A = this chain, B = another copy of it.
């Protein structure tokens, strides 16, 4: 069976412990969002599909009035997750509008420093968010490794923006930039 990577986000989350769609969305927003986001519009329909495929199972635990459907992995779902983990990753996509603007900055060179600045600020914001997650959740094992990746990659990007910004200022060939 061919599943989307987003389906594996769900399977992976449920491999830790049973969860509701709401739980999954909350976890995604605090963990994988930086390298794999997912919205309710994806999660709820996907939960239904996975349940129909027998990879997850609903344990309708409505605690009184508030309806809440908690799903758990079936043995088949766990096998599917492990099979996916054993394969090679295929998707790697980056969409960086800052880089795009910088690339075309020749049409308005004066805008380059502020583009670089905005990009740097973006990465700094992400670092702050990741550090918060780090402090709050004290992740361990693979989650911690991946979180460190996020922090270090964004730190690298901040440094690059600073270096590139300095380079832009350096060749001041009497053009009267600024």
Q: Taking beta carbons and an 8 Å cutoff, which residues of A are in contact with B? A: 5, 8-9, 11-12, 15-16, 31-32, 34-37, 78, 81-82, 84-86, 88-109, 111-112, 114-115, 118-119, 122, 140-143, 145-146, 149, 152-153, 156-157, 160, 164, 167, 175
Contacts and interface: CB of A to CB of B under 8 A. Distances in A.
12 contacts: A8-B100, A11-B104, A12-B103, A12-B107, A82-B108, A88-B114, A89-B96, A89-B97, A92-B96, A93-B96, A102-B146, A104-B142
Instruction: Please report whether the interface of chain A is mostly helix, strand, loop or mixed according to DSSP.
Output: helix
Contact of A5 (B92, B100, B140, B157): B100
Contact of A86 (B15, B102, B111): B111
Contacts of A160: 149, 152-153
Contacts of A101: 84-85, 89
Contact of A92 (B84, B95, B175): B95
Contacts of A119: 89
A13 to B, nearest CB: 8
Nearest to A37: B93
Contacts of A11: 104
A85 B111 contact: yes
Q: Which of A84, A89, A167 has the most CB of B within 10 A?
A: A89
Which 4 A/B pairs are nearest by Cβ-Cβ distance? Answer: A12-B104, A89-B98, A89-B97, A91-B97
B107 A89 contact: no
Contacts of A175: 140
B107 A146 contact: no
A122 to B, nearest CB: 6
